[in-house]
Amino acid sequence: MSGHSSPRSANVSSRKTKIISTTLILSLLLGSLVLLQIGKAQGLPAIKLEPKYVAVKAGEKFDVQINVYGATYPNSEVHAWQVRLDFPIASLEAMPSPVYGPFMSGPRIGYWGVLLYNAPAGQNVVNVTEGSRFIAGQQVLVKDDVHSENKTISSITGSMITLSSNLVNSYTTANNAGCYPYPTLSAIGSLSNTLGSGTFGQTTNGVNPGAQGDGLLATVTFYAEQDVSSFLNITGTLTYIKNTLGEVVGDEPGELEKQDAYTIRTGDISADGIISANDLMMLGKDFNKCPIQTRSPTTNSLFGVAWTSPANAYTPNNAAASAPTPAGKGQDYKTFISPTSFPTGVWTGISKVEVGLLARIASGGDDRIRVAVSNNGGTTFSVTTATVSPTTTATWTMFWVDLTAAYAWTPAGVSQIAVRIISEMNGAVMTTVYVDWVTVRVTPTPTSSSAVSDVNRNGIVNGADLTSLASQFGQQYGN
């Protein structure tokens, strides 16, 4: 009898093999689906304030970023977003308008823009997967793994997009060629220091798809007014994202992860949310050193023709001192004791003296602000000066000028510091310049690495700070 199996047994064996193979494939698919479902449940999209902990002291400015994570097509891509931010008005003051990040303004890359055919150089037509996601007249990014260029859409017919000019480079499907729209955006809302809150965000205009992935939505700048810990809250239902279909993600619990932030001023030197051995180590590193100090003025006097509302420049409150025509208006700022006097009694020397101006200019202007300093309370001012040239009209820019060379600075001289600002015409016509904050930053010697290593704020890191830190050991902020 032959050792070969019969055709019937061979067929049965073949069918068993197919059944086993099919079962294995189904098992793998089902397993993958289970993993996907688990991943979906664990991988919520998120809006977070970062860094979560910021170690600052009164008189300092700091930035908090609003970032989005895990925005994926189609459910949680970001066609629009909104954040409700609440903060304590007694300890923090916010710049009135957030600075929006690049996440929403970049090209919207996705399957809709994948090229169906190669697009050779010299032609002005590309064929995309879904032409309905594009708008005539808007800018697009044409790219593949080798080249890229920006173009403007002339017209759209189905999946065929006609560009206003010919392609400079060739784009091939083998190199993952695509054409992706740059969206037009509308910004909404602002911050109010009176209310200690704000609701703001961005909306994509038209049919363009939402942004995907991770990225920076906005940056909010704060000024610390008191040496207390503060809580910045975004966890309410008014913090959310919308997808292309207009579905809101985040107005119900469990749809969107939302992370608040905290400012720390009482010993969390490492800014990790807990006073621990890390903070002891950082304090030891700064022992017998002095942190950089920032102070604001509390009095002023005119020099020649006065600025308008000069006291508005004591703090960054969006209510500015201004110098309209004529040029040459001057203002002296004195008594830099806010929030306290400079702790000059514990300093051994001065390595740097800087003046900061938070400034902007009227539309169309190119004029300047001349800055001088005094080391005798404003009786005389330095021959050495510096120039600030504001360029923005709608937003404030912080300018720091180094005036260390103005004097052979001593701690006594710093205690009597004063600042003079004078408007200067650059062109044929003087336009209004605005200053929202005049401040002085002094770097004493020897200098510590962190402003908040000086836990008790007496101007030097020493045993008193170690004792204060030890009494707070184990204290936690937030969750």
Which pLDDT does position 479 carry in this prediction? 59
Give the span between the Cα atoms of 260 and 230, in whole angstroms: 11
> Got the DSSP string for 327-363?
S--EEEEE---BSS---GGG-SEEEEEEEEEEEEE-T
d(CA 476, CA 479): 8
What whole-number distance in Å separates Cα of residue 86 and Cα of residue 237?
A: 13
CA distance 35 to 40: 8
Q: Does 96 sit behind a cis peptide bond, omega within 30 degrees of 0 on the bond before it?
A: no
The pTM of this model reads: 0.72
Query: How big, in percent rounded to 5, are the helix, strand and coil portions of the chain?
Result: 15, 40, 45
Closest CA to 90 of 294, 263, 230, 298: 230
What is the model's pLDDT at position 37? Answer: 33
Whole-number pLDDT of residue 316: 81
Instruction: State the CB neighbour count (10 A cutoff) for residue 16.
Output: 10
46-105+186-264 and 111-181 have identical folds: no
What is the reported pLDDT for 339? 83
Q: Which residue has the tokens 């016509």?
A: 429
Backbone torsions φ then ψ of 84, nearest 5 degrees:
-100, 115
**CA dist 126 to 27, 144, 153, 327, Å?**
42, 13, 10, 56
Of the candidates 350, 328, 327, the one whose C-alpha atom is nearest the C-alpha of residue 416 is: 350
What gap in Å lies between CA 391 and CA 196, rounded to an integer? Answer: 29
DSSP 389: -
What value does the CA radius of gyration of the chain take, rounded to a whole number of Å? 30
Residue 100 near residue 187, CB atoms below 8 Å? yes
Specify the CATH number of the domain 111-181.
2.40.30
b/e map of 240-255 (b: 16 or more CB within 10 Å)? bbbbbeeeebbeeeeb
As a whole number of angstroms, the distance between CA 283 and CA 55 comes to 13
User: Would you kindly state where each structural domain of the chain is located, as residue ranges?
Assistant: 46-105+186-264, 111-181, 293-445
Is CATH 3.40.50.300 the classification given to domain 293-445? no
Name which of 112, 169, 165, 107 is nearest 141 in CA terms.
107
Q: At CB < 8 A and 24+ separation, what contacts does 225-228 make? A: 225/58, 225/90, 225/91, 225/92, 225/93, 225/315, 225/339, 226/58, 226/90, 226/91, 226/339, 227/57, 227/58, 227/265, 227/266, 227/339, 227/457, 228/90, 228/91, 228/265, 228/266
**CA-to-CA distance for 100 and 131, rounded, in angstroms?**
28
Q: Which of 206, 418, 442, 213 is nearest to 330 (CA)?
A: 418
- DSSP result, 423-463: EE--SSS---EEEEEEEEEEEEESBPS-GGG-TT-SSS-SH
Separation CA 477–CA 454 (nearest Å): 19
Distance CA 440, CA 400 (A): 9
Place of tokens 């289970």: 34
Q: Cα(405)–Cα(113) distance, rounded to whole angstroms? A: 57
Residue 374, H or E segment: strand 368-374
Quick one: tokens of 440? Answer: 């002085």
- Is the CATH number of domain 46-105+186-264 2.60.40.680? yes
The distance of Cα 279 from the centroid of its chain, to the nearest Å, equals: 26
- Among candidate residues 140, 77, 131, 88, the one with its CA nearest the CA of residue 262: 88
Rounded to 5 degrees, φ, ψ at 377 are 75, 10
Strand 178-181, strand 160-163: pairing:
unpaired
Cβ-Cβ contacts under 8 Å for 66 (sequence gap 6 or more): 47, 48, 49, 50, 83, 85, 98, 101, 216, 217, 218, 219, 220, 234
Task: Note down pLDDT in tens along the chain; length 479 residues.
Answer: 333 333 333 333 443 333 333 333 333 333 333 333 333 334 789 999 999 999 888 778 899 999 999 999 888 999 999 999 999 988 898 887 899 999 999 999 999 999 999 999 999 999 999 999 999 999 999 999 999 999 999 999 999 999 999 999 999 999 999 999 999 999 988 888 889 999 999 999 999 999 999 999 999 999 888 778 899 999 999 999 999 999 999 999 999 999 999 998 778 989 889 999 999 999 999 999 999 999 999 999 999 999 999 999 998 877 899 998 889 999 999 999 988 899 999 999 999 999 999 999 998 888 999 999 999 999 999 999 999 999 888 778 889 999 999 999 999 999 999 999 999 998 888 999 999 999 999 999 999 988 889 888 888 999 999 999 999 999 888 75
Amino acid, single-letter form, for residue 139: Q
CA pair distance 53, 89, nearest whole angstrom: 18
Select from 353, 407, 413 the least CA-distant residue to 382.
407
